[in-house]
Amino acid sequence: ETGVTQTPRHLVMGMTNKKSLKCEQHLGHNAMYWYKQSAKKPLELMFVYNFKEQTENNSVPSRFSPECPNSSHLFLHLHTLQPEDSALYLCASSQGLASDEQFFGPGTRLTVL
Amino acid sequence: SQQGEEDPQALSIQEGENATMNCSYKTSINNLQWYRQNSGRGLVHLILIRSNEREKHSGRLRVTLDTSKKSSSLLITASRAADTASYFCATDDAGNMLTFGGGTRLMVKP
């Protein structure tokens, strides 16, 4: 257990559905991250939040919408996704930004039909 | 663009042997980190080495950093079947974000 939990662990959705991924960290960290991991591609940083404020949006399509209501919770709202969005979505947290060690959740395996 | 690139992409060894993975990067860094990922799971931090350090040890892990060559290596000694996983290096770029390489898939055969 890394202190970062993600739900659901698996999700199958159609292209017209709306769903949300949830991440919670119990480490008292200030920064939280969403990453996308596709087969045979490096881990891609999607969004970064520091003290609940979004500090990075890595040219992510608007069909992905993050929300950070407090320093412990992070959501990723999904709507009208494409099959190529199927991937493992990983949440991570760290005490401060960037140079600090990041703690990852187990991920949500998303399949878009 | 990708900052860290691991080499080899895949490595298969027998239990008890040592495993060496390399990481090259392009720009100046503050530190370099190594992570491990079991299949379909989250990443686990292994070790962080700062730009002013040349070598660091943690248990059976040994990491070296050569900033003049912009490269790092991870050595796992006396490997075990449980070490089977993917290993990633990560560097902090100019924007102070971590950038991960494509990883090395290590298979340790019993």
Which residues is B108 bridged to in the sheet? B13
Query: For A48, which of B30, B41, B97 is closest by C-beta distance?
Result: B97
Cβ of A5 under 8 Å from any chain B Cβ? no
The rounded Cα A70 to chain-centroid distance in angstroms is 15
Cβ of A46 under 8 Å from any chain B Cβ? no
**Nearest Cα residue in chain B from A41:** B102
- CB-based contact B23:B101 (threshold 8 Å): yes
Task: Report the largest interatomic distance among the alpha carbons of chain A, rounded to a whole angstrom.
Answer: 38
Segment A48-63, tens digit of pLDDT: 998 888 887 778 999 9
Q: Do B2 and A42 lie within an 8 Å CB cutoff?
A: yes
Q: Distance between CA atoms of B52 and B42, rounded to whole angstroms? A: 29
Query: For B33, which of A43, A90, A101 is closest by C-beta distance?
Result: A101
pLDDT, position A54: 84
- Written as six digits, the tokens of B9 are 């992409």
Segment B40-79, tens digit of pLDDT: 889 999 999 999 999 999 999 999 999 999 999 999 999 9
Q: Residue B94: pLDDT above 80?
A: no
**Nearest Cα residue in chain B from A40:** B102
Question: What are the mean pLDDT values of chain A's consecutive 10-residue runs (113 residues total)?
Answer: 93 93 96 92 90 83 94 96 95 84 95 95
Q: Phi/psi of residue A68, each to 5°?
A: -130, 90
Q: Do B45 and A42 lie within an 8 Å CB cutoff?
A: no
